[in-house]
Amino acid sequence: MGKGFQIAALWILAVCGASFSLFAQSPAMKNTPSSAPFTVAIHGGAGNLQKLNLSPEQQAAYKAVLDSALQVGYSLLVKGDSAVDVVQQVIMVLENSPLFNAGKGAVFTHEGTNEMDAAIMDGKTLDAGAVAGVTTIKNPIAAARAVLGDNRFVMLSGRGAEAYAAEQHLEIVDPAYFYDEKRWHQMLKLRDSTVTELDHGSIEEAQDAAKYGTVGCVVLDQHGNLAAGTSTGGLANKQFGRIGDSPIIGAGTYANNKTCAISCTGKGEDFIRLTVAHDISAMMEYKGYSLQKAARKVIQEKLKTLKGRGGLVAVDHKGKVCFEFNTTGMFRGWVNESGVFETAIFVDAP
C-alpha cells in the first residue's frame, strides 16, 4: 500500500470518527469535559409504574424535569462545586416541580395537609441535616442543608424546624402554595376507600404512580467526596405526624466517603426497620461487597421478606452508579463527566 493511500485512509478515518462522535452526542452535551471524574444520579420515586398508565406526553414531561435537574448538577460539578452543594441544588429543581412528591408536588395527609421530610448527608465529614413534618418551608432540602451546617443538632421537626428555617432566611410560604388539584383528588379517593394505610389492596396498587414520587440525589464530586439527599411529601393519605424513612439518616439517606452515597424511595416503614441505606454501606465496608451486590441483597432479598416495595439510587466512591428497585418502575437519571445524560422510568428502560 503506498504512503499516499495510507495518509488518505487515515484522513478519512479521522473525519468519519469525528462526525460519528458528534452524531452520538446528546444535544445536552455542549459543556466542556472536565478533568476529574464526577457523577450525579437522581430518582423521582419508585412504584407500580406501567407504560399504560403514563402517556408518552406524561413520560416526556417527567423526563424533561429529570433532565433539567441533571443539567444543573452537571454544570455545578464541571466547575468543581462540592457534592453537598450539588445535591441541594439538584433536589431544589425537583422540589419546585409539581410532578414529584416533594416540595410543590407534595402529597396530602389524611387530614388534608402537606407534611414534608428531607435529609442531606456529607460523606466526607459524616455531617448530616434533616427536617421532618414541615408545612411552610418552600424547599425542605434547603432547611436540611442549613441543619447540616449547624453542629448543635442533626434533625429538627415541625414548628421548630420552620422557625429555624425562617431564622436562616429561607423561603417560607403559605401552606396553600402546596395545594395541587390532582394531588387533592388523589387523597380524597384514597380517603374514601376502605383500604387502610398498611393494607396493600388493589386501590393502593392502582395508585402507586401517584402515591410515590419522592426525590433523591447522590453525587461524587471532582474532589472525590460523596453526598446524598432525599426530599418527600411522604405517603398519600398518611396519618398526620407520620414520618417516613427519607429524613432518617441510615434508613432513607446515607453517605460515607469510605463506601457510597444512597437515597431511597418506597414504603418508608420497611426502610426504617431495615436501616436500608446504612445496611448497604455496612456490607460494603465490613464484607467488601460491591455497591451493586449489597444493594441487590437489601432491595431484592431483605426488603422483600418484609413485603417492602421501593428502590434506591446510589453511587460508590469510584463514581459507579446503581439503580436498584423491586417495583415496575422508578423515575431516574444520571450523568457523569462524559456529559452523556440518561433518564429512564420503567424496569425495561426507557
Q: How far is the CB of 270 from ligand ASP (least distance, A)?
A: 9
CB 89 within 8 A of CB 76: yes
CB 45 within 8 A of CB 212: yes
Taking the alpha carbons of 73, 25, 322, 69 in that order, is the dihedral positive or negative?
positive
Taking the alpha carbons of 236, 280, 67, 169 in that order, is the dihedral positive or negative?
positive
Whole-Å CA distances, 206 to 4, 47, 162, 212? 68, 10, 34, 12
DSSP 62: H
- Cα 246 to Cα 231: distance, rounded to the nearest angstrom: 7
- Cα 262 to Cα 246: distance, rounded to the nearest angstrom: 11
SS (H, E, C) 70-95: HHHHHHHHHCCCCHHHHHHHHHHHHH
- Cα 253 to Cα 230: distance, rounded to the nearest angstrom: 6
- Cα 140 to Cα 156: distance, rounded to the nearest angstrom: 11
Q: How far is the CB of 259 from ligand ASP (least distance, A)?
A: 21
Q: How far is the CB of 332 from ligand ASP (least distance, A)?
A: 13
Q: How far is the CB of 109 from ligand ASP (least distance, A)?
A: 11
Q: How far is the CB of 327 from ligand ASP (least distance, A)?
A: 10
H/E stretch holding 335 reads: strand 329-336
By C-beta, is 43 or 317 nearer to ligand ASP? 43
Which of the following is catalytic: 39, 135, 136, 214? 214
By C-beta, is 45 or 140 nearer to ligand ASP? 45
Q: How far is the CB of 246 from ligand ASP (least distance, A)?
A: 5
By C-beta, is 208 or 221 nearer to ligand ASP? 208
Closest CA to 47 of 237, 210, 251: 210
Known active-site residue 109: no
Residue ranges binding ligand ASP (CB under 6 A): 45, 101, 212, 214, 232, 234-235, 244-246, 252, 265-268
CB 143 within 8 A of CB 165: yes
CB 346 within 8 A of CB 332: no
By C-beta, is 235 or 314 nearer to ligand ASP? 235
By C-beta, is 89 or 246 nearer to ligand ASP? 246
Q: How far is the CB of 101 from ligand ASP (least distance, A)?
A: 6
By C-beta, is 73 or 268 nearer to ligand ASP? 268
By C-beta, is 73 or 234 nearer to ligand ASP? 234
Closest CA to 291 of 218, 214, 215, 213: 218
Give the CA dihedral 168, 171, 176, 178, nearest 10 degrees: -100
Residues taking part in catalysis: 214
